[in-house]
């Protein structure tokens, strides 16, 4: 199958899946206890007439499917509706916060990839005490929830040592300030995934090391460092790449906890606030963005896999 046709087919599939996801996201909020009208009233009692007026204003009296269709149509035009909590357009809320979150997730991703691959590589190649040390370290990393890591980092590096700010995102003070503010959150966010990726890399490289072609390369006098990079790490890359989807989705989910812990004003914190205040349009928009991001990453992985492993044909994940 050629690349372009496959990409187009996958994009169409993605659109259909997003549509299904949007239905679930929209519907789920209506299954949750409480209703937006009572939230808008802020706990005050209202006359039936006032209640009716509110329902009319927010189209809450329409049948579910009509509401869904209207919501979907608006999204197609880039309109995510108005936030019930902030009384502004959701898209404005998002556009001011999304860059912060993307920067935070991006920083965490860099840490995860750099440290995860390096530790996994070292662990597999060196063995012995290095391997044991890294295994113990990654066991702690994998066992520490990101919000616990956030509190520990905050307590030690921000409060005790004062090296980094304990909260805030530093947005508005330039990129340098943001990077400084987001360092601890990014580490907290990355910790678990560094452990995970190091372990995936280690086991994939150990498996590749067992390959007969590695012995053959040695028998031909290929220098050991080239054997590790060209035959061991290269062959482990497929397994590493397939975890990319998991890594990005975990980052997006954990950013909710970490942003709340560090009071970083990104969409993660916004999601947390919005869901506790039943700010339906905001929650729905953020959920859709996270789902879309996850699917995009998976699409990119599927397109890249045949380049990493020529035995994989486009559209399948198994080696032929």
Partner 1 sequence: MTTLDIRGLRLRLPGAARPVLDGVDLSVDASETVALVGESGSGKSLTSRTVLRLLPKGAATEGRVEVAGDDVLTMNAKQLRKLRTQTAAMVFQDPRAAINPLRRIGDFLTESARLNKLMTAAEADTRAVELLDAVGLSADLMRRYPGQLSGGMLQRVMIAAALMGDPRLLLADEPTTALDVTSQAEVVTLLADLRERFGTGLLFVTHDLGLAAAISDRVYVMYAGRIVETGPSESIFARPRHPYTRALLASTPSLDTPQGRLTAIDGQPPDLRQELHGCPFAPRCPLATEVCTTEAPQSTSAPGEPAHTAACHHADRLAREAADV
Q: Does 126 bind partner 1 (CB under 8 A)?
A: no
* Three-state SS at 31: helix
Tell whether the torsion through CA atoms of 45, 47, 50 and 52 is positive or negative.
positive
**Chain residues 234-263 in contact with partner 1, contact rule CB under 8 A:** 234-235
Cβ-based nearer residue to partner 1, 162 or 221: 221
Question: What is the rounded distance in angstroms from the CA atom of residue 311 to the CA atom of residue 235?
Answer: 12
Q: Restricting to residues 200-239, which ones interact with partner 1 according to CB under 8 A?
A: 211-213, 215-223, 226, 230-231, 234-235
Between CA 236 and CA 197 the distance in angstroms is: 12
Distance in Å, CB of 127 to partner 1, minimum? 11
- Closer CB to partner 1, 111 or 200, in the complex: 200
User: Do 243 and 198 touch, CB atoms closer than 8 A?
Assistant: no
* Nearest CB to partner 1, comparing residues 43 and 221: 221
* Least Cβ distance, residue 210 to partner 1 (angstroms): 11
> Applying CB under 8 A, does 45 fall inside the site for partner 1?
no
State how far the Cα of 104 lies from the Cα of 106, in Å rounded to an integer.
5
**Residue 263 per-residue DSSP state:** T
**66 lies in the site for partner 1, by CB under 8 A:** no
Cβ proximity to partner 1, 42 vs 221, nearer residue: 221
Decide if residue 320 touches partner 1 (CB under 8 A). yes
Joined together, the tokens standing for residue 108 give 């965490």
Q: Which residues contact 78 (CB under 8 A, 6 or more apart)?
A: 91
Q: Quick check: 198 and 123 in contact, CB under 8 A?
A: yes
Spatial distance between the Cα atoms of 191 and 121, rounded to a whole number of angstroms: 17
Min CB(183)–partner 1 separation in Å = 37
Q: Which is nearer to partner 1, 125 or 189 (CB)?
A: 125
In the complex, minimum distance from the CB of residue 309 to partner 1, in angstroms, rounded to a whole number: 6
Residues lying near partner 1 in the complex (CB under 8 A): 211-213, 215-223, 226, 230-231, 234-235, 308-311, 319-320
């Amino acid at each position: 199958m050629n690349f372009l046709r496959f990409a187009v087919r996958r994009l169409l599939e993605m659109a259909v899946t997003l549509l299904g996801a949007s239905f679930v996201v929209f519907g789920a909020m209506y299954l949750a206890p409480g209703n937006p009208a009572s939230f808008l009233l802020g706990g005050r009692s209202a006359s039936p007439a006032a209640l009716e007026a509110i329902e009319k204003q927010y189209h809450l009296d329409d049948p579910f499917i009509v509401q869904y269709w209207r919501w979907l149509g608006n999204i197609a035009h880039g309109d995510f509706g108005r936030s019930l909590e902030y009384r502004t357009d959701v898209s404005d809320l998002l556009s001011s916060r999304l860059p912060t979150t993307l920067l935070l997730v991006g920083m965490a991703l860099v840490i995860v990839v750099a440290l995860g691959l390096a530790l996994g590589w070292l662990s597999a190649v060196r063995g012995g005490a290095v391997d044991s040390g890294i295994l113990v370290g990654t066991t702690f990393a994998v066992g520490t929830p990101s919000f616990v890591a956030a509190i520990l980092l905050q307590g030690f590096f921000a409060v005790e040592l004062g090296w980094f700010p304990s909260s805030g995102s530093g947005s508005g003070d330039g990129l340098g300030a943001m990077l400084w503010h987001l360092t601890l959150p990014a580490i907290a966010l990355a910790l678990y995934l560094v452990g995970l990726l190091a372990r995936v890399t280690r086991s994939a490289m150990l498996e590749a090391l067992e390959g007969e072609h590695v012995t053959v390369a040695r028998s031909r006098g290929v220098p050991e460092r080239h054997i590790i990079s060209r035959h061991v790490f290269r062959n482990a890359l497929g397994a590493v790449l397939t975890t990319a989807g998991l890594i990005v989705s975990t980052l997006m989910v954990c950013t909710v906890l970490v942003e709340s812990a560090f009071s970083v004003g990104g969409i993660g914190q916004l999601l947390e606030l919005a869901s506790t205040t039943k700010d339906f349009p905001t929650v729905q928009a953020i959920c859709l963005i996270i789902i879309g991001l996850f699917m995009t990453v998976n699409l990119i992985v599927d397109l890249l896999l045949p380049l990493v492993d020529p035995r994989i044909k486009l559209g399948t994940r198994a080696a032929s």
